[in-house]
């Protein structure tokens, strides 16, 4: 539930114009609580909401929002990209059967951080718990 003003602000900061398509997609993404969307799914949802936007623009917009810090890309499946509206670092449950991706609400932390290879620094820590039906 990110406020409209914040979206505008971040678009402006990123040098992105608040076009009809970007605002409409932002509304779908941010006015419904935390979400995990694929480009295809967002496009379908836009169509249903009678928003005229091409799939190419959905892809562009997702990447631009990610660079602007409004979204975070989550890698759980080689066959498609997921974008998460929750941008701080947190773990995920991934249900392989359904393709459903969920935030892990509890704090998941590593018991201890391993030593890094020389000359490197951490750019992110991904924790994915893969689920199947019990």
52 binds, among DNA, a second copy, none (CB under 5 to 8 A by kind): DNA
Quote the least distance from Cβ 86 to a second copy, whole Å: 15
Q: For residue 132, give every residue at least 6 positions away whose Cβ sits within 8 Å of its Cβ, in sequence order, or none.
A: 95, 96, 97
Choosing from 29, 62, 76, 101, the residue that interacts with a second copy (CB under 8 A) is 76
In terms of CB distance, is 52 or 80 closer to a second copy? 80
* Rounded Cα gap, residues 107 and 11, in angstroms: 30
Q: Which residues bind DNA (CB under 7 A)?
A: 15-22, 38-40, 52-57, 59-61, 63, 78-81
Q: At which residue do the structure tokens 């689920």 appear?
A: 131
* Rounded Cα gap, residues 57 and 61, in angstroms: 6
> Phi and psi (nearest 5°) for 94?
-125, 120
Q: At which residue do the structure tokens 């929002």 appear?
A: 65
Q: According to the binding rule CB under 8 A, does residue 5 interact with a second copy?
A: no
57 binds, among a second copy, DNA, none (CB under 5 to 8 A by kind): DNA
Q: Which residues bind a second copy (CB under 8 A)?
A: 75-81, 91, 93, 95-96, 102, 104-112, 114-117, 119-134
């Amino acid at each position: 539930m990110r406020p409209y003003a914040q979206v505008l602000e971040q678009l402006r900061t990123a040098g992105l114009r608040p076009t009809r398509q970007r605002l409409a997609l932002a509304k779908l993404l941010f006015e419904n609580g935390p979400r995990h969307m694929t480009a295809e799914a967002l496009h379908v949802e836009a169509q249903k909401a009678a928003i005229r936007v091409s799939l190419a623009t959905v892809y562009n917009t997702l990447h631009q929002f990610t660079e602007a810090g409004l979204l975070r890309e989550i890698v759980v499946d080689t066959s498609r990209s997921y974008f998460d509206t929750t941008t701080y670092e947190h773990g995920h449950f991934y249900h392989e059967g359904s393709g459903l991706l969920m935030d892990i609400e509890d704090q998941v932390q590593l018991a201890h951080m391993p030593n890094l290879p020389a000359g490197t620094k951490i750019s992110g820590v991904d924790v994915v718990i893969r689920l199947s039906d019990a």
